[in-house]
Amino acid sequence: MTRLYQIDIMTLFPDTVGDMLCESILGRAQERNIIRINTWQIRDFTTNKQNQVDDYPYGGGHGAVMQADPLYRCWAHICQQAGQRLHTIFLSPCGHVFRQADALRLRDGYDRFIMVCGHYEGIDQRFIDECVDEELSLGDFVLTGGEIPAMAIADAVCRLVPGVLSTPECYENESHWAGMLEYPQYSRPEVWHGRAVPPILLSGHHANIEKWRRKQSILRTRERRPDLYEKLDLSSKQDRRLLAELEAEAQEQDKQ
């Protein structure tokens, strides 16, 4: 029996997050009970009539800070429902930058985990210290809230869960799976705006097509992500041949 993979998202905008993650591939996977993405309204766990979740920061400063208690009450409710303390992630610009390796780690390491979406000027550090296991960021920039990172991470993780996509090949040949960027893709028509599909892709010679795709991945990674390229192991006989071909092609272009 296929396990049910669950993600719980604590947010001030559960409808927005839930609606987005119930569409397309993830929506169909939820209908088939392969994954479940639960969204929780943090305001439902306040103890005041105004459902207030934020207050002025101690020490002064602009904006407001999300209070620890509503967050804790929401978090504790989810853990109680699950029957265990769940791995908890806070989406924060101070966190580790999320990578494909993190998507695999979260898929393989947890059947269910929580993501906490902050807002305003952040959340009370005491909640982070007591309940959060790790902090993740989408990159070196700041957003108005954690909902976009939560949706991005949920999508990245859930599409790797067995049964969500038709076969593992759907993601194993993509960018970042093996530390490389994906090769260019083409579809019909054969010629569009005077631009033709590379002839090799029309040849029907699968070995040559795979060789071309590998070479294009190496080239694209070298040109666009030299940081990734430096980490690649291209010592195999096949890759050395491809590198030699790329070098010869570059020299030929320089002569023209």
Q: State both tokens at 216.
A: 């294009």
DSSP 118: -
- What was the pLDDT predicted at 256? 75
Q: Is 198 helix (H, G, I), strand (E, B) or coil?
A: coil
* Residue listed under structure tokens 């699950």: 82
Q: What is the pLDDT of residue 219?
A: 94
For residues 136-145, one letter each, b for 16 or more C-beta atoms within 10 angstroms of the residue's C-beta and e for the rest, the string is bbbeeeebee
Q: Is the bond preceding residue 189 a cis peptide, omega within 30 degrees? A: yes
Q: Specify which residues 148 forms β-bridges with.
A: none
Residue 122 burial (CB count, 10 A): 18
What pLDDT shows up at residue 231?
92
Give the model's pLDDT for residue 179. 85
pTM, two decimals, is 0.86
pLDDT for 253 equals 86
- Quote the pLDDT of residue 177: 67
Structure tokens that stand for 72 in this block: 């804790």
Residues of the chain with pLDDT under 50: 1
Please give the pLDDT value at position 169. 59
Looking at residue 8, its amino acid is D
**Cβ-contact 29, 35 below 8 angstroms:** yes
Residue 120, pLDDT score: 86
Residue 168: CB atoms within 10 Å: 11
Please report the pLDDT score of residue 224 as a whole number: 95
